[in-house]
Amino acid sequence: MPTPAELKAEILRLTRAYSELMHRANRPGADAAVPFEPGQTTVPYAGRVFNADEVEAAVGSTLDFWLTLGPEGAAFEAELAALLGVKHSLLVNSGSSANLVALSALTTHKLPAHKRIQPGDEVITVAAGFPTTVAPILQCGAVPVFIDNDPATGNVRVAQLAAAFSAGKTKAVMIAHALGNPFDLGTVLEFCRKHDLWLIEDNCDALGCTYSLPVARAKALGFTENSPGLPADGTYITRYTGTWGDLSTQSFYPPHHLTMGEGGAVNIVHRPPLKTYAESFRDWGRDCWCASGKDDTCGKRFQWQLGELPKGYDHKYIYSHLGYNLKPLDPQAAIGRQQLKKLPAFIEARKRNWTTLRAGLADLADVFDFSLPTHATGWTPQGFAWDATGCRTDCSWFGFMLRVKSTAPFSHTELAQHLDQRKIGNRMFFGGNLLRQPAFVQLKQDRPSAFRVVGEFPGADEIMHRALFLGTYPGLTAAMLDYEIATIRAFVRSR
């Protein structure tokens, strides 16, 4: 009879063989194994990109049958934290849950009163984006304060930050890096430092993006080192997005930069106690920090006295917060570890695909406004021109956003329908102006003080009325990109 190790090895060998046959369409675009037929083969806006490595890892972990978050999860958390250069990364079951856990961690009674986010306190955010950047603010009893977006970048209009601030009420800023384009971190960080505010970076669409600050400006904000693996040149301090604020979040849903099916992470950038608070909210609200399957790592499991419980009550069943159960499964983490190895190649593919689309549509500027990285003032085939701030961004693009000009002889909806009919995946910029969404219209009617707005929202409305985006994900082939470009050009000519 074969040994268990021999049986497992044979199962995994057959697993790889099966995956090579069944998952050929999910390989990176540069390694395409399925012929592309224009108009017949769907061009997704995003999707899973993997090979036999991920399938083998998932099956191998399942055979071990730990299932709940365990050794693979611990390894993934350590590897992600090391890649980014943060203190800790904490796995959760989605990017939306990551946002909820990150915001919840700042509501703990274990923080000083002036830093704790309590019901009625305010958190500054932006109007256009994905709703689960904003929902946790409301779910935790705080008040979101909306400011406008710059339609050219999709990001926050930083000039409105001062008007959004309310002394004694504003406690945090929580905004996303839009479509893999970093927001103006220099200005946002200076604003947060000035007013002693928390900064949560929603990095769900932006894993692998970098932001560069001139050395003197970065040092004035307390930064002295680059993120791991990023070169220092004496001019800039360059760090990955998600490593500048206090907390940041990731999503590992299939359209994102790496996937484990469902999944996400909270990154604790530089304040280790925040890990304990975030972990508590993730894990039912418990006070105990023992990992699953481990007991008494504090050495005094039966010696605590908290709340009104009797002294010696089992620390594993003491709850300091009203928490959740938001953990993923260990086989998901096993998949994620293989995806992490591919991340550098995925990032380069996203940049390359964005550039291909931009160059292929460059002469259609009479009908389209094209997006720019934050701090860029223009694009040519040779690269970007930059503003006078001295800051730079390097985008790991989630998508290629363009805006149909108001003078164009077609709308963005008509373009989206045309692309859809020709099997080209596309999306609006998520929820558009969230304040126009039925949930927020109803909330305003039910509880007018539930959120606050600053000024008008011409940028967010422009994004809502005119913007859509195409995919840049690593599964796109050169033939797919050529077909997208040709289809859009033909549509414009026909109008």
Active site residues: 256
| End-to-end CA separation in angstroms for the chain | 71
Contacts with 5 (C-beta within 8 Å, 6 or more apart), sequence order: none
CA separation for the pair 430, 407 (Å, rounded): 24
In one letter, which amino acid is 335? Answer: I
> Which residue is associated with the tokens 């020709």?
422
Strands 392-394, 399-404: pairing is unpaired
The number of beta carbons lying within 10 Å of the beta carbon of residue 43 is: 24
Cβ(172)–Cβ(165) below 8 Å:
no
Contacts 24+ apart (CB under 8 A), 417-424: 418/487, 418/491, 419/470, 419/484, 419/487, 419/488, 419/491, 422/39, 422/487, 423/39, 423/40, 423/41, 423/42, 423/43, 424/43, 424/470, 424/483, 424/484, 424/487
- The DSSP annotation for 354-396 comes to HHHHHHHTGGGTTTEEEP--TTEEEEETTEEEE-TT--EEE--
C-alpha closest to that of 433 among 123, 130, 172: 130
3-state secondary structure of 199: strand
Cβ(282)–Cβ(323) below 8 Å:
yes
Cβ(75)–Cβ(456) below 8 Å:
no
CA separation for the pair 145, 160 (Å, rounded): 11
Measured at the alpha carbon of residue 93, what is the angle toward residues 91 and 99, in degrees to the nearest 5? Answer: 80
CA separation for the pair 424, 276 (Å, rounded): 44
Report the residue count for the chain.
495
Instruction: Kindly compute the dihedral angle of the four CA atoms of residues 225, 227, 229, 234, in this order, to the nearest 10 degrees.
Output: -40
The number of beta carbons lying within 10 Å of the beta carbon of residue 131 is: 13
